[in-house]
């Protein structure tokens, strides 16, 4: 009877801790939403029409077309969807919007002939985007403009441009992928909620830099600290209690999927479904055939410094060496006097901070939304698996390979298939080397 009662108490304690984690998460996001100015509140409420009997919410597709931070008038956008085919024209502030009839995904194509002379899309390959109003009542579509690049380029120039874009994407993926690799190496957990940490970093960066109007560097530091705290509370309130209960890794992986869904929709509720413009300045930089921005170069430089710092941390510090020891063999590390639980807690904090930084850098270049992390989650797992599960250096190498494959594939494949090309390469490499590029032959974890 006493044993059964004790087991019951343990179960209830575990459930209470899990419930406490979600309660803290909801309270934290609620506080963020309540402290932000009016413009930071959810943008997913749409436009309401008040009638005598009830309020009807309209479905809105719209956006802003800007060049060098200023709205451009007279740009035509062709919006198509289920029983819908209309053209919108931007006003003097570059804004446009259309009311659509049903919850669906709509295609928005920009008319290049309506662009001013000498102006073109910053990404000439993307002339059509998708507006999704299946979940929210509004969807924002952005077409950033820049100097005209509509010239015939040689294959060599195109190759150079794609290699630069691949390096850029690979570095951004590497900063986030290291977090997945460290967590897997020390706990054996495949954390499917990792993508939501990327989204959290991008959206929190937008909140601090745009809504609270803080300097970008200060906003970045606050974002990294908030993301690290998010990682700390995840482990303290959820993962450590599950480890203490000796819950299997498969069950924990399913919990991470549930956590990902909860966090994703909490971000939707509190930040809205519209794409957030995190950087208002796109100062152009020309390097040979490469037309990039100061923001992209700065983000790449910061990513390189971050990756080098992580490498030094893992190889030159006592905590880093202890982390590698736990990753290699946690039982042997514990027997040698290493506090395994303390190392795991540090790993969660470091992984949270790194992933938040990655989300911020990603948001600066590609904008931020509640789906940012989920859109690149498969690429992150592909990078970690390709480089070798549980190895930080392997995650970096795998991320760079994935970045180059994604961008170079667009030279011969439609842009919509470039992510699929990365997964095909992953399969081919694993058929030849199942442990990954830098992985060990024995199973890790």
Fold of 156-432: ABC transporter involved in vitamin B12 uptake, BtuC (1.10.3470)
DSSP states of 365-397 as a string? HH-B-TTHHHHHHHHHHHHHHHH-TT-HHHHHH
Name residues whose C-beta falls within 8 Å of residue 433's C-beta, 6 or more positions apart in sequence: 439
Radius of gyration of the chain from Cα atoms?
Answer: 23
What was the pLDDT predicted at 16?
56
The two structure tokens encoding residue 329 = 């063999």
Cα–Cα distance, 149 to 132 (Å, whole number): 29
The two structure tokens encoding residue 100 = 């659509």
DSSP 444: P
What was the pLDDT predicted at 64?
86
Q: How many helices (H) and strands (E) does the chain have?
A: 13, 14
Indicate if the alpha-carbon torsion angle 324, 327, 330, 332 is positive or negative. negative
DSSP strand pairing (105-110 vs 138-140): unpaired
Architecture of the CATH domain 55-147: Sandwich (2.60)
What was the pLDDT predicted at 282?
57
Read off φ and ψ for residue 73, nearest 5 degrees: -90, 155
How big is the chain, counted in residues? 445
Name residues whose C-beta falls within 8 Å of residue 6's C-beta, 6 or more positions apart in sequence: none
Domain edges within the chain: 55-147, 156-432
Cα–Cα distance, 53 to 286 (Å, whole number): 59
Whether pTM exceeds 0.95 = no
What was the pLDDT predicted at 428?
84
188: left (phi over 0), alpha (psi -120 to 50) or beta: left
Cα–Cα distance, 202 to 2 (Å, whole number): 50
The two structure tokens encoding residue 205 = 């960066």
3-state secondary structure of 49: strand
The two structure tokens encoding residue 410 = 């667009």
Q: Which residues pair with 89 in a beta bridge?
A: 76
Does residue 174 contact residue 303 with C-beta atoms inside 8 Å?
yes
pLDDT in 10s for each residue of the chain, 445 residues: 444 444 445 445 555 555 555 555 655 555 555 544 444 443 333 444 343 444 446 888 888 888 776 788 888 989 998 888 888 999 888 888 899 888 888 999 898 888 887 777 776 767 888 888 888 888 888 887 765 545 556 788 889 989 999 999 999 999 999 999 999 989 989 899 999 999 999 999 999 998 998 998 999 999 999 999 999 999 999 999 999 999 998 999 999 999 999 999 999 999 888 888 776 555 678 888 888 888 889 999 999 999 999 999 999 999 999 999 998 888 888 888 899 999 999 999 999 999 999 999 998 888 888 989 998 998 999 898 888 777 778 889 999 999 999 888 888 887 778 888 888 888 888 788 877 777 666 544 4
């Amino acid at each position: 009877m006493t044993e059964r009662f004790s087991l019951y108490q343990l179960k209830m304690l575990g459930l209470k801790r899990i419930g406490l984690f979600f309660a803290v998460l909801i309270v934290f996001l609620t506080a963020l939403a309540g402290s932000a100015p009016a413009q930071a509140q959810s943008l997913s409420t749409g436009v309401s029409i008040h009638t005598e009997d009830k309020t009807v919410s309209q479905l809105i597709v719209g956006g802003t077309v800007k060049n060098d931070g200023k709205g451009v008038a007279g740009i035509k956008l062709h919006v198509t969807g289920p029983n819908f085919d209309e053209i919108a024209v931007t006003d003097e502030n570059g804004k446009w919007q259309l009311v659509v009839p049903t919850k669906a995904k709509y295609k928005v194509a920009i008319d290049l002939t309506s662009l001013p002379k000498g102006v073109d899309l910053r990404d000439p390959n993307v002339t059509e985007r998708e507006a999704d109003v299946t979940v929210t009542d509004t969807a924002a579509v952005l077409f950033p403009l820049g100097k005209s690049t509509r010239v015939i380029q040689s294959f060599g120039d195109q190759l150079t441009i794609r290699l630069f874009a691949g390096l850029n994407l690979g570095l951004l993926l590497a900063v986030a992928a290291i977090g997945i690799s460290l967590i897997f190496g020390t706990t054996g957990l495949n954390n499917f909620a990792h993508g939501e940490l990327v989204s959290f970093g991008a959206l929190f960066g937008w909140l601090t830099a745009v809504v609270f109007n803080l300097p970008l560097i200060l906003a970045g530091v606050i974002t990294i600290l908030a993301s690290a705290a998010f990682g700390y509370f995840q482990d303290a309130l959820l993962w450590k209690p599950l480890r203490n209960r000796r819950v299997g890794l498969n069950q924990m992986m399913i919990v991470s999927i549930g956590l990902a869904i909860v966090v994703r929709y909490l971000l939707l509720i509190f930040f809205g479904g519209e794409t957030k413009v995190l950087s208002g300045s796109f100062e152009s930089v020309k390097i040979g055939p490469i037309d990039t921005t100061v923001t992209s170069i700065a983000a790449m430089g910061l990513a390189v410094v971050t990756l080098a710092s992580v490498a030094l941390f893992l190889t030159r510090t006592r905590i880093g060496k202890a982390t590698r020891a736990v990753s290699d063999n946690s039982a042997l590390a514990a027997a040698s006097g290493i506090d395994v639980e303390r190392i795991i807690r540090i790993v969660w904090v470091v992984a949270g901070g790194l992933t938040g930084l990655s989300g911020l850098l990603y948001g600066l270049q590609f904008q931020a939304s509640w789906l940012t992390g989920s859109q690149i989650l498969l690429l992150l797992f592909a990078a970690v698996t390709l480089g070798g599960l549980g190895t930080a250096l392997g995650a970096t190498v795998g991320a760079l390979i994935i970045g180059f494959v994604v961008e170079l594939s667009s030279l011969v494949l439609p842009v919509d298939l470039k992510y699929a090309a990365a997964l095909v390469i992953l399969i081919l490499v694993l058929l030849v080397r199942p442990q990954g590029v830098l992985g060990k032959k024995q199973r890790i974890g």
